[in-house]
């Protein structure tokens, strides 16, 4: 009996030892899969769709490496965000709120501190060793010209350095060294994944299609030359990948941040197109591997909204450097252009103080002003203007409310001139069915009472429906750092005194273009001819919405 007990006890000990070893061995048999996401500015949104395709087809992601825009998507996914979470942030976030263009420039045109702070809040201030999925971001050390796979300290700072395109963003200082965009020497860092010990490497290269390039265009030539220099590094590093995925994202799409949904779809389709190759690479390492679809849980919509809200508030509270900025706007009452400059931020905080010159012989002139404004609150502008044709200075103000679903509310006042005040509400996209967009503007204007004008005739109301036709639909044309979407404009203005119906129509026809500077800062430029009911004509030139 004692012998049997000893025998069973020995067998039990052997089983307890062998079972964990067999489980560990089974785990080790499954190949480790790494995902490498290359850089490509706005084209990098395609990574979101690609990850969705991998999840739906049961392709595991055990570690992840990113360069430039790829490091942003990679970092968020490695930090626990779901595909839906990342897409939600990409589609609805106004990235211009995270960026600042300080003048004079220091190291780059755009200050990226806001992006770093925003990402830091989204990632909960995590360091690399706290990430749920092992992650490295790739950057270039400016002092040595060598690429570095960063995996120490705060993830948000590593991502900021990895996406710091030279000239656009200033280099990022980390421990006394200065780093810029990893895409300069390692656009698709599959070699980093190999060094991390990955068995299967899936790399994504956001290559541009130069088949339709214009060799007489200096911009196209510079782009192709840069791509040729970077291409050698890309070929060397991607040679270590088992599968290299190339989404079909075109030539001129680097700044098209408004096309998030399009890029996500292109990434998803590319993932499906290469899926057989991906599965074959995994099965070559482990023939018995079973692909089980899964979905990273991420956050609920309410949780995500709360996190993004906190992140935006942190960015808004950031102290900004004392800045000198150019000013270009149109007078809200008389629509003449005003050029000048202002000082803002630093000790002035959200206030600005500056000088403008109004280009109108009657109501223009030298103008000093103080303004205040925030994205979510609107803006206030107080001015004093000395016009050549007026003995006394003109005092006035302009107030603009926050934009609410394309609805813009404005109010203006001037102490001299034919118009005393004006209140308006406008929505340029009341009906949007590309290539045709219809809008409507309503305004009430108070005229300054004259001796020969009855008081009841000093209050005017107007409605101005307009139609924009975009001949090329949603297509945007790149012009250096600006994306242009041309249109043809028609506007009918119907104005009448409030106390009696006496409609005075005028018709404006012209051309214009939606503009996106760096793909982020929207503006609208138009030039038209206005014809009144008395056959009087005047040229209208407008530039609206431009604010850095």
Predicted confidence (pLDDT) per residue in 297-330, tens digit: 999 999 999 999 999 999 988 888 888 888 888 8
DSSP codes joined into one string, 212-243: T--TT-HHHHHHHHHHHHHHHHHHHHHTT-SE
Contact predicate 225/215, CB 8 Å: no
Beta bridge partners of 415: none
- Tell me the pairing of strands 63-67 and 135-141: parallel
Q: State mean pLDDT over 67-87.
A: 95
Adjacent-strand bridge partners of 53 = none
Buried b (16+ CB within 10 A) or exposed e, 454-463: eeeebebebe
Q: Which of 106, 107, 89 is nearest to 98 (CA)?
A: 89
**Predicted confidence band of residue 26 (pLDDT cuts 50, 70, 90):** very low
Q: Say how far apart CA 271 and CA 273 lie, in whole Å.
A: 5
Catalogue the active-site residues.
68, 181
Query: What's residue 492's pLDDT?
Result: 95
Q: Given a cut of 50, is residue 232 above it in pLDDT? A: no
pLDDT for position 435? 92
Query: What confidence category does residue 12 fall into, taking pLDDT thresholds of 50, 70 and 90?
Result: very low
User: What is the reported pLDDT for 10?
Assistant: 53
User: What whole-number distance in Å separates Cα of residue 7 and Cα of residue 527?
Assistant: 96
- pLDDT of residue 106 exceeding 50, the answer is yes
Contacts of 455 (CB under 8 A, 6+ apart): 449
C-beta neighbour count of 391 within 10 angstroms: 7
What average pLDDT does range 353-376 have in this prediction? 91
What is the chain's alpha carbon radius of gyration, rounded to the nearest angstrom?
Answer: 30
Residue 197: pLDDT over 90: yes
Task: Assign 412 a pLDDT band (cuts: 50, 70, 90).
Answer: very high
Cα torsion 527, 337, 431, 446 to 10°: value is -120
Q: Which of 47-61, 214-228, 317-331: highest mean pLDDT?
A: 47-61
DSSP conformational letter for 500: S
Between CA 515 and CA 479 the distance in angstroms is 10
Q: At what angle do helices 260-273 and 275-285 cross, to 10 degrees?
A: 50
Q: Strand, coil or helix: what is 431?
A: strand
Closest C-alpha to 35, from 71, 81, 88, 68: 71
């Amino acid at each position: 009996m004692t012998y049997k007990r000893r025998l069973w006890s020995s067998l039990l000990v052997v089983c307890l030892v062998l079972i964990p070893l067999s489980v560990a061995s089974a785990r080790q048999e499954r190949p480790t899969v790494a995902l490498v996401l290359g850089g490509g500015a706005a084209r990098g949104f395609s990574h979101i769709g690609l990850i969705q395709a991998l999840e739906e087809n049961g392709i595991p992601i055990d570690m992840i490496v990113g360069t430039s825009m790829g490091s942003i998507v990679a970092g968020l996914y490695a930090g626990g965000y779901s595909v839906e979470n990342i897409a939600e942030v990409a589609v609805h976030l106004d990235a211009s709120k995270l960026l600042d263009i300080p003048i004079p420039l220091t190291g780059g045109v755009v200050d990226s501190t806001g992006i770093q702070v925003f990402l830091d809040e989204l990632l909960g201030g995590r360091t690399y060793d706290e990430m749920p999925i092992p992650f490295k971001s790739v950057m270039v050390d400016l002092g040595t010209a060598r690429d570095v796979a960063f995996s120490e300290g705060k993830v948000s700072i590593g991502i900021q350095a990895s996406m710091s395109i030279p000239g656009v963003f200033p280099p990022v200082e980390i421990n006394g060294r200065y780093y810029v965009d990893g895409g300069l020497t390692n656009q698709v860092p599959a070699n980093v994944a190999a060094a991390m010990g990955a068995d299967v490497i899936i790399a994504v290269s956001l290559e541009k299609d130069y088949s339709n390039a214009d060799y007489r265009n200096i911009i196209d030539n510079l782009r192709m030359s840069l791509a040729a220099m970077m291409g050698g590094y890309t070929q060397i590093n991607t040679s270590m990948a088992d599968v290299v995925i190339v989404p079909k994202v075109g030539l001129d799409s680097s700044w098209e941040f408004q096309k998030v949904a399009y890029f996500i779809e292109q990434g998803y389709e590319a993932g499906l197109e290469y899926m057989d190759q991906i599965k074959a690479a995994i099965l070559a390492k482990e023939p018995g591997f079973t692909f089980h679809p899964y979905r990273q849980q991420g956050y609920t919509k309410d949780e995500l909204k709360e996190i993004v809200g906190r992140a935006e508030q942190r960015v808004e509270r950031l102290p900004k450097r004392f800045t000198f900025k150019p000013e270009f706007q149109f007078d809200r009452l008389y629509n003449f252009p005003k050029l000048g400059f202002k000082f803002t931020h630093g000790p002035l905080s959200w206030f600005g103080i500056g000088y403008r010159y109004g280009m109108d012989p009657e109501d223009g002139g030298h103008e000093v002003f103080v303004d205040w404004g925030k994205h979510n609150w609107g803006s206030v502008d107080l001015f004093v203007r000395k016009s050549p044709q007026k003995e006394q200075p003109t005092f006035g103000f302009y107030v603009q409310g926050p934009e609410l679903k394309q609805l813009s509310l404005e109010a203006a006042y001037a102490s001299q001139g034919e118009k005393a005040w004006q209140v308006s509400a406008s929505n340029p996209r009341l009906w949007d069915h590309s290539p045709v967009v219809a809008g409507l503007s309503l305004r009430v204007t108070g005229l300054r009472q004259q001796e020969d004008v009855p008081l009841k005739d000093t209050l005017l109301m107007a409605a101005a429906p307009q139609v924009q036709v975009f001949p090329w639909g949603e297509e945007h044309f790149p012009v250096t750092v600006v994306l242009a979407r041309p249109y043809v404009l028609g506007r009918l203005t119907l104005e009448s005194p409030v106390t009696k119906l006496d409609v005075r129509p005028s018709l404006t026809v012209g051309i214009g273009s939606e503009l996106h500077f760096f793909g982020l800062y929207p503006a609208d430029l138009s030039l038209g001819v206005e014809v009144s009911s008395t056959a009087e004509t005047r040229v209208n030139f407008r530039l609206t919405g431009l604010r850095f």
